[in-house]
Structure 1
C-alpha cells in the first residue's frame, strides 16, 4: 500500500529531528502562495522583453522605459499586498528551534526575512536592498520609503525622458547611482559560493516550491545530496529535482510545511 502524506511527514520529521542542520532551498512557489508573480518562468515578468536583453535593470529601464514601467508597477502593487504565508513562518519556527541553519532562496521579495529568518542567502538578490553602481556599497531601504521612491520613478519612466528617469534614481553618499539589488538580464546570481557552502554542510535540505530548471541554482540540492544530506521536497507537482529527493511531500509549502514542523515539535526530546 502506498504511503500516505501523513506517513511521509512523520518519516521526514524524524529525519529532521535525528540529523538537524537543515537548510531550506526555496523557489517561486512559496512566494506565489503570497501573491508574488514569477519572474523567470515561461510567461513570467521577464518573458515580456526581447531575448538577449542585457545591462541589468538599469539597461532595461533605459532601453524599454514604458514597458519597464508597466512591469515595475505591477510588481510594486503585488509587493505592497504581499505578506509571509504559513510556509515562511514555519521556516522561521524551525530556525527558532535551532534546527534550521540557513535559507537559500531564488526569491527577491524579502518574505523570508519578514517572517523572521535571519540567515538568508538570496541568489537573485533582494528588491528592497540597494546597491551603488560606483562603490558597490549595499543597504536596505525601509519598505514604505522604497515603494514611494519607485512610485515616483515609474511616473517619470512613462515620459521616456532618460535624463529625467536617472535623475530620480536614489544616490549613494559617494555620489554614485543606487539601483535595486536584484538579478536582472545578463547578470550573475549572487551569494552562490555561500549558498553552495551551506548546502554542502547541511544534513537535511528542504526543497520548497521550485521547478528545479533554473541554473546554476537548480544544481544546489544535488550538491547537498552528494555531500550526504537527506533531501525532503515539498511541491504541488513533481519537479526536475524529485528524482534526487529521499522524501517527496506533495502539496503547497504553506499547507504542508506547517504540518511538518508540527510533527517535528512532537518528536523533539
Structure 2
C-alpha cells in the first residue's frame, strides 16, 4: 500500500526544488514487460556462465542460442509500451519540475511516453551507428522489427562475420551497428549526464540496483554536490542508505500518485 505521508513528502520536495533530474534503471522497464538480467528467469541463470559479458557474451558462449534470444527480444519489444511510471516522468517535465532523465535503459520508452531530454548511458536499441563515419540513425520501430525478422529467417548460429552482411548501410557506404553499449565499452553521454548531476538539487531515482558503474556513481556525485535524493524501488538498493526519502514500491504505482499530489498542491 502506498504510504500517503511519503507521497506528500516527496511531492513537497519536488515542488520546492529548482532542478530535478530523474535517474532510472531496468526496474522501470521491467514494469513494461522487459525482463532484467537479474530476474528469476533472467539471463544471469538461463545460460551457463550467466550474463557475464551481456548479450554478446552469451552469444559468444552459446552461438546456437542466437535465434531463441533474438526472437524473444523481438516479441518483447513488439509488445512493450510505456507504463504509468514513464508517463509520470514526462508529466513532471511538462510541469516544469523535471529538467532531464538519465537512464540506463535503451528501450526508448521514456521518449515514447513524451520525455524530451533523455540521456541514454547505455545507448538506444532503435538507433544505429556507422562503423566507418560514426553517423547515427534512428530507425522507426516497425522498420527495425522487419529488419530483425529477416535476420531470424536465416540465422542458425551467431557470429560477427555472419551478421555483417545483414547490417544496414550508412550513406557513406559503411555498415551500421546497433548503438548500444555492450560490456567493456564506454558508456554514452556521460559528460552531459555528469553536467546535469552537478546542476540538480534533487535526483529522483527509480528502478535501479545501484550496482552498475559508472552510472551508479552519478547519484553519489549528486549527493556530494548537495542534492537531495528520493528513491522509488520495490526493494532497497545500494543507494538507499544515501537517500533522503525512500518509497518502497513500483514506479508505475507511486510516481503517478506523486504527480497527482503535486497537481492538487498547485490548484
TM-score normalised according to structure 1 size? 0.90
What residue number does 2:4 align with?
A: 6
Say if 1:108 and 1:126, in contact at 8 Å, map to a contact too. Answer: yes
2:183 to 182, 185, 190: 185
Aligned-residue RMSD, C-alpha:
2.5
Structure 1 residue aligned with 2:43, among 42, 45, 67? 45
- Does structure 2 retain, via aligned residues, the 8 Å contact 1:205–1:229? yes
Residues 53-87 of structure 1: per-residue CA shift (max 9 Å, x gap): 77995x97677543233212211110000000000
Change (3 A) 1:258 1:211: same
Q: Distance in 2 between matches of 1:44 and 1:55?
A: 11
Shift of 1:9: 1.2
SS of 1:217's equivalent in the other structure is coil
**1:240 is aligned to 2:225:** no
Out of 87-96 and 164-173, give the one that drifted further: 164-173
State the match for 1:120 in structure 2.
118
Equivalent-residue separation in structure 2 for 1:236 and 1:215 (angstroms): 21
Residues 228 and 77 of structure 1: is their aligned pair in 2 closer, same or farther, counting only changes over 3 Å? same
Alpha-carbon spacing, 1:268–1:174, altered in 2? closer, same or farther (3 Å): same
CA contact (8 A) 1:91 1:100 kept: yes
Pick closer, same or farther for the CA change 1:159–1:45 going to 2, 3 Å. closer
> Which 10-residue stretch deviates more, 13-22 or 251-260?
13-22
How far is 1:50 from its partner?
4.9
What is the CA–CA distance in structure 2 between the aligned matches of 1:123 and 1:54, rounded to whole Å?
17
Query: Match of 1:260?
Result: 258
- Distance in 1 between residues matched to 2:14 and 2:138, nearest whole Å: 33
Alignment CA distance shift 1:177-1:63 (3 Å): farther
**140, 143, 150: which one aligns with 1:142:** 140
Report 1:1-269 matches (<5 A).
5-39=3-37, 44-45=42-43, 48=47, 50=49, 65-158=63-156, 165-268=163-266
1:94 CA displacement: 0.4
Structure 1's unaligned 5+ residue stretches are none
Q: Does the C-alpha gap of structure 1 residues 79 and 52 become closer, same or farther in structure 2, counting only changes over 3 Å?
A: closer
Deviation by residue 1:176-204 (Cα, 9 ceiling, x = unmatched)? 11111111132121111111111111111
Does structure 2 conserve the Cα–Cα contact (< 8 Å) formed by 1:95 and 1:117? yes
- TM-score (structure 2 length as normaliser): 0.90
Cα deviation digits, residues 15-43 of structure 1 (max 9, x gap): 11111311100011110000001147786
Tell me the secondary structure at the aligned position of residue 99 of structure 2.
strand
Consecutive unaligned residues in structure 2, runs of 5 or more: none
Structure 1 residues 138 and 122 mapped into 2: Cα distance closer, same or farther (>3 Å)? same
Alpha-carbon distance between aligned partners in 2 of 1:87 and 1:55, rounded to the nearest angstrom? 26
Shift of 1:161: 7.8
Give the SS at the match of 1:24. strand
Name the SS of the counterpart of 2:185 in structure 1. coil
